[in-house]
Each structure stands twice: as structure tokens, then as C-alpha cells.
């Protein structure tokens, strides 16, 4: 398949052209992350109810995937920069398929709880590494197809596909679990990446960017501040993903999967209509607004005394969180040279992995000590803690613009 230039060919793309180039990338994202959506509501129930482990172990199992993704993001970004985004994506998809095999083995050995848990943790680590390679590669692939002026749209559309997969995968996972057991959900983790591999062969690759790549530690130093804002702003999602099923079960409420769907629907709807705002108005300004909304959603979940208020809190959280990733991401990618943008995307996404990996066990401790409602108060406080970071980035924009005008590094 011929390479697609990422230079002048992307400079004057119309919005329909941008969308046309991003839709195939989004389809791959959907297939890859549908595995995550299917597993999110069934994993806590499998670990807690079927294997008999506590809430901290549930948090560790959920967070293991993000820990593996965190530890492999540098490698993923460097592979996308040096070998090409398509190579990183395809290697990641093979790892996701291998994780499906391990999930199946965990399902078949559930009578031996410790063995099953060990296989499940191994599978979650493998899944995290695979989704790190695939996710970073897909962001880089999309950016190469439409160019830096559309960076916010790349991240927005990748997120649309990701959370559409979560929104649709959650009820699908519960259906598979209810009809055929955990083994059916595990089988989906095996088959979906194989489908994505076949689709990936139909998408043109992009040329490697010219120039000298920066060492990863310099890239990390350039993106750490928007990355930290992303990490703190992601805790609201982590709180819902890890504990909403158990929270609903503790209250005797039905349709916990509908909470994830409400989150996903609000998230996707916002990105469909407002994806271009970080590119047009600046990432830091959009991040400030979104963090306030997301924190309010977490507070509503904390105080919810009916499942309908919980649905509303999840939807408000999704509305606020929807543009946090592209908003801070626009601030991140413009801080590095073109040849290191894959590494920048990997480093930036690593902060999201860090948030999910650390938040799961810590929120599990909160749930053990204070109940599931307190998880969402902790989420609201953490999300609000990212507001000073967004404000600092906003204040720094005039200085950065002056630096660029004088021939700065970016």
C-alpha cells in the first residue's frame, strides 16, 4: 500500500476530507477497544462474585491493564516514529488477541480461584501492552493522515470510537455474561482484534516525518504538564469504570451497564458536535470548562439516591470528560518537533494510563473504608485539582506564541 504524505497533502484538507481520512482509523479503534467495553462491567463481577476476591483486588485487576499500557507507551511512541504507525498498530492488535486467549484460560479455570486470577492478571497486562501499541499507533496514524492543524479532531474522533465501543460494549458484555458466561466475553477479546487486523490492511500508511527525533525524556519533559492535567481529569472515568457495577449492586439497583452507556452517549455526542473547539479556541480554555462540568457530574453521583440520578451524574461526567483528552492533547503535541510526535502522543497517553492504573486500587481503598458513594466524592476532588494546571497552561500561551514568533523550537 502506497504511503500517504503527511506534509502539504494535509495542509488544506476540508472538513469532509478530514472526516473521511479519520473514519477508517476510528473503525480500527472501535474494534480494538470494544474488547475493553465488553470487559468493563463483567470483570468486577467475575473477580468479586465468582472468584471471591475483594474490592481492592477488583481495582488491581482493572488497573493492571493501564499499568502495562503505561510501561509500554514510550516503546509504542518510539515504534510509531521509527517504524511507522501501521507497524505499531498491527503488533498491538496481535497482543490483544493473545490477551483474549489468556482471558479464556482464566474463564475455564475459575474453579481454581488463584490460578484463574493469575491468568486474568497476565491477560490484563498483555491487553494493556497491546492497546498501548495499537492506541498510540492509531493516534499517530490519524495525525499523519490529516496534519497538526487537526490534532484536536484526531483525538476527538479516536475518543468517539473508543467510548462508542465502551458504551456499546458494556451492555453486550452483560448480555454475553448472562447468556453464555464469562467465557463468551473472553472469546470476544480474541476475535475482535483479528477483525481489526484484516481492516488495517485496507488503510494507506503514512510517511515517516522528517527530522531528528528527540530523546523520550525530553519529550516527556515537554508534555508532563498537560499530561498531569489529563491524569487528574481522567479519575472521574476511572471511578465509573471500576466501581459502578458494584455500587449499583450494593444499592439493589438494576441496569448498571446503562450508566456506562449514559456516560458514553454524552461523551460521544459532545465530541460529534464540538470536536473542533480545542483546535479553534485553544486546549487550555476548553479544558477549564470541561473539568468543572466533569467534577459536577462526580458530585451528583456521590449524592445520587436513585439510579436515575446516577445515570444523570454519569452523563454529566461524560459530557465534561469528553474534550479533556483532546484539549490537553492539543497543548501537548504542539510542544515537540514533528519527528517526535508519536513519542509525544505516547508520553501524553501514558498519563491517562497512570491515572487508571493508580486510581483503581486507591479508589478501591476508599470504597472499602467509606463505601462506594465516597469513590465519586474522591473523583470530584481529583478532577477539580486539575483546574490550576489548565489555568497555568492558559496563562502560558502568550509566552509560547512569542517564543514561536522568535523562532522557538516548535
The residues with which 206 forms a beta bridge, in sequence order, are 4
Instruction: Judge whether residue 305 has pLDDT over 60.
Output: yes
Q: How far separated are the first and last CA of the chain, in Å rounded?
A: 31
Instruction: Judge whether residue 194 has pLDDT over 50.
Output: yes
Residue 278 near residue 295 (C-beta atoms within 8 A): no
All cell numbers assigned to 287 = 479544558
Residue 410: name the closest of 216, 215, 230, 222 by CA. 222
Per-residue confidence at 387, pLDDT binned at 50, 70, 90? very high
Most confident range (mean pLDDT) of 146-150, 229-233, 355-359 is: 229-233
Report the distance separating Cα 96 and Cα 369, nearest Å: 35
Report the distance separating Cα 165 and Cα 78, nearest Å: 27
Residue 34 near residue 168 (C-beta atoms within 8 A): yes
Please say whether the dihedral angle defined by the alpha carbons of residues 129, 28, 44 and 178, taken in this order, is positive or negative.
negative
Supply φ then ψ for residue 4, to 5 degrees: -105, 120
Q: Where are the domains of the chain?
A: 16-405
Supply φ then ψ for residue 206, to 5 degrees: -120, 150
Most confident range (mean pLDDT) of 36-40, 110-114, 172-176, 297-301 is: 297-301
Report the distance separating Cα 390 and Cα 198, nearest Å: 40
Which of 16-20, 26-30, 207-211, 384-388 has the weakest average pLDDT?
207-211
Reported as half-sphere exposure (CB side, CA atoms, 13 A), residue 384 has a value of 11
Report the distance separating Cα 98 and Cα 107, nearest Å: 15
Report the distance separating Cα 159 and Cα 327, nearest Å: 12
Contacts of residue 402, Cβ cutoff 8 Å, sequence gap at least 6? none
Per-residue confidence at 207, pLDDT binned at 50, 70, 90? confident
DSSP-derived 3-state class of residue 205: coil
Instruction: Judge whether residue 9 has pLDDT over 70.
Output: no
Report the distance separating Cα 170 and Cα 319, nearest Å: 18
Report the distance separating Cα 140 and Cα 147, nearest Å: 10
Residue 76: name the closest of 128, 150, 35 by CA. 128
pLDDT (tens digit per residue) in 129-162: 998 899 888 988 988 888 877 888 888 888 788 8
What per-residue confidence (pLDDT) applies to 10?
53
Q: How many helices (H) and strands (E) does the chain have?
A: 16, 0
DSSP code for 181? -
Q: Calculate the alpha carbon distances from 227 to 33, 241, 353, 363 in Å.
A: 21, 20, 10, 20
Confirm or reject CATH 3.10.200.10 for domain 16-405, answering yes or no. no
What per-residue confidence (pLDDT) applies to 116?
85
- Rg (Cα) of the chain, in Å, rounded? 20
Q: What is the mean pLDDT of residues 15-32?
A: 87
All cell numbers assigned to 350 = 501514558
Report the distance separating Cα 244 and Cα 229, nearest Å: 24
Place of cell 477549564: 288
Q: How far is CA 305 from the centre of its chain?
A: 29
Residue 284 near residue 394 (C-beta atoms within 8 A): yes
Neighbouring C-beta atoms of residue 49, cutoff 10 Å: 12
Amino acid at each position: 500500500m502506497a504511503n500517504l504524505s503527511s506534509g502539504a497533502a494535509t495542509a488544506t484538507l476540508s472538513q469532509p476530507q478530514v472526516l473521511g481520512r479519520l473514519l477508517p482509523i476510528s473503525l480500527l479503534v472501535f474494534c480494538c477497544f470494544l474488547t475493553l467495553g465488553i470487559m468493563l462491567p463483567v470483570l468486577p463481577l467475575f473477580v468479586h462474585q465468582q472468584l471471591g476476591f475483594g474490592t481492592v483486588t477488583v481495582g488491581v485487576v482493572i488497573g493492571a491493564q493501564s499499568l502495562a499500557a503505561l510501561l509500554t507507551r514510550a516503546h509504542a511512541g518510539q515504534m510509531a516514529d521509527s517504524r511507522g504507525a501501521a507497524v505499531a498498530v498491527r503488533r498491538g492488535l496481535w497482543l490483544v488477541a493473545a490477551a483474549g486467549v489468556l482471558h479464556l484460560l482464566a474463564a475455564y479455570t475459575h474453579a481454581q480461584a488463584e490460578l484463574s486470577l493469575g491468568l486474568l492478571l497476565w491477560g490484563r497486562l498483555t491487553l494493556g501492552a497491546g492497546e498501548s501499541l495499537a492506541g498510540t499507533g492509531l493516534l499517530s496514524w490519524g495525525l499523519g493522515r490529516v496534519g497538526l492543524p487537526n490534532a484536536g479532531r484526531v483525538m476527538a474522533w479516536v475518543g468517539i470510537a473508543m467510548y462508542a465501543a465502551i458504551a456499546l460494549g458494556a451492555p453486550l458484555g452483560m448480555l454475553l455474561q448472562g447468556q453464555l458466561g464469562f467465557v463468551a466475553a473472553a472469546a470476544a477479546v480474541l476475535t475482535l482484534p483479528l477483525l481489526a487486523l484484516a481492516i488495517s490492511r485496507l488503510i494507506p500508511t503514512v510517511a515517516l516525518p522528517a527530522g531528528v527525533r528527540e530523546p523520550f525524556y525530553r519529550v516527556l519533559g515537554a508534555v508532563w504538564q498537560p499530561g498531569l492535567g489529563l491524569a487528574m481529569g481522567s479519575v472521574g472515568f476511572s471511578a465509573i469504570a471500576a466501581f459502578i457495577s458494584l455500587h449499583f449492586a450494593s444499592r439493589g439497583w438494576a441496569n448498571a451497564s446503562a450508566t456506562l452507556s449514559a456516560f458514553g452517549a454524552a461523551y460521544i455526542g459532545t465530541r460529534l458536535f464540538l470536536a473542533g473547539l480545542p483546535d479553534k479556541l485553544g486546549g487550555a480554555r476548553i479544558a477549564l470548562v470541561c473539568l468543572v462540568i466533569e467534577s459536577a457530574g462526580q458530585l451528583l453521583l456521590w449524592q445520587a439516591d436513585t439510579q436515575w440520578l446516577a445515570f444523570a451524574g454519569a452523563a454529566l461526567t461524560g459530557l465534561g470528560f469528553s474534550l479533556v483528552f483532546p484539549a490537553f492533547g492539543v497543548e501537548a503535541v504542539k510542544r515537540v518537533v514533528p519527528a517526535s510526535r508519536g513519542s509525544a502522543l505516547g508520553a501524553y497517553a501514558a498519563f491517562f494510563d497512570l491515572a487508571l492504573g493508580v486510581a483503581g486500587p486507591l479508589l478501591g481503598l476508599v470504597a472499602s473504608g467509606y463505601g462506594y458513594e465516597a469513590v465519586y466524592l474522591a473523583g470530584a476532588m481529583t478532577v477539580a485539582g486539575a483546574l490550576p494546571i489548565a489555568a497555568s497552561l492558559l496563562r502560558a500561551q502568550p509566552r509560547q506564541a512569542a517564543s514561536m514568533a522568535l523562532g522557538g523550537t516548535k
